[in-house]
Structure 1
Amino acid sequence: MRKPLTISAVTLTLLFSAVLTHATLPVHGVSHVGVEVAWGGDNPTQGGVATIIVNVRNLWSQPLTLRFVGVRLDWMGEDTYLYGGGSELERLMNPGDIASYSMRFTVPDDASPGFHPAYILVVYTVSEEDMLVEYHQVVEVRPGLNVVAAVTLTVTEVVTVPGEASNVNRVKDWRALSTLLAGLALALFAVWKWRLKK
């Protein structure tokens, strides 16, 4: 597994311009990218492996350059994002193009069972008014990752071999035989006494 990428400051850089622009939400109510997320496989257990599949679509009418796509879960540092499947590489996207990334990670052993918030960071550049502008868009994943409790199950197999009864079974067998013989003797004694009275 690759080391997580740590972003020391969430700032946006305006390339080829003296103006610095910051956009964590869509500019003027319009987003340049659409993000769809799916959790792969079953719900992971504590210490298990999970997969997230992230699809990013260019919703803009012009090409854009996807620079980075990463995922952050609530047990990670605020500026730490996991990446994978080439999501750290630049990719030119024409209008309507979709980039799909699959990222695997290990759930910590001490992660609490239940839903954990997850966030997707998408870094991309677009050309606006003859300037290249970089955006950082953060999208919350809903529902978050559902971690199930790790359960340890111990199974003990007992094999009984004919003719080799344990001491416990032998004692139970002798008690049953003794009780049967005592009952039979008592019944014979009662019959004998009854016949004597006649």
Structure 2
Amino acid sequence: MTSAAPEKSSILIVDDMEENLVALQAVLGPLEQQLVTVRSGEEALKAMLRQDFALVLLDVLMPGMDGFETANNIKRLDQTKDVPIILLTGTDVDRDYAYRGYALGAADFLAKPIDPWVLRTKVNVFLDLDRKNRQLAVQAEQLRRLLVAEHASPGADPQTAAVGAEQLAQITEQLDRIEAMLRSQETSEGPELADYIAELERSIRRLETG
């Protein structure tokens, strides 16, 4: 089964200082992804409700709604709670900032000035996860369409349709397991994930040849 090439991922950059936004755009520009910049926590939440993002780069020290409050609000919304957040802050900060960030569900924490190579490397990890998740979503949709075409037509055999529905349920469960593992940095490259993907591929082949 072939999939369409995934579109570019979107990265949200949140910082109240224009010069910091410009610098981060310059660092991430070579990744050739869609970069969206906003200058407050309120604007960040509005942007995340308008479109999907693979990652949020979030400055901690902002006036009004600071980075911690913004991160907390992001994690409280069903629509945005799974979006990874990298918190950014200056060098003269309390050591507890990192612990606060991780407690709120942040994926990483970087202090300024930020090494461009380190930032691009970390961002690439989350972009890869986003691409994998979107590819799985495309495959799931193709499988649903395949079932509709082959098993849900007006003259379809009821028993065949039931088998197709059962196969779809199994594949959906496998996709859910793989997506959960992809979101776990500890297991995203492990042998268990490879086993699940191989199992999914076998299920797809059975569906296509059944």
- TM norm structure 1: 0.21
Q: Looking at secondary structure, tell me which structure has more strand per residue.
A: 1
Larger radius of gyration: 1
Normalising by structure 2, we get a TM-score of: 0.20
The structure with the largest helix share of the pair is 2
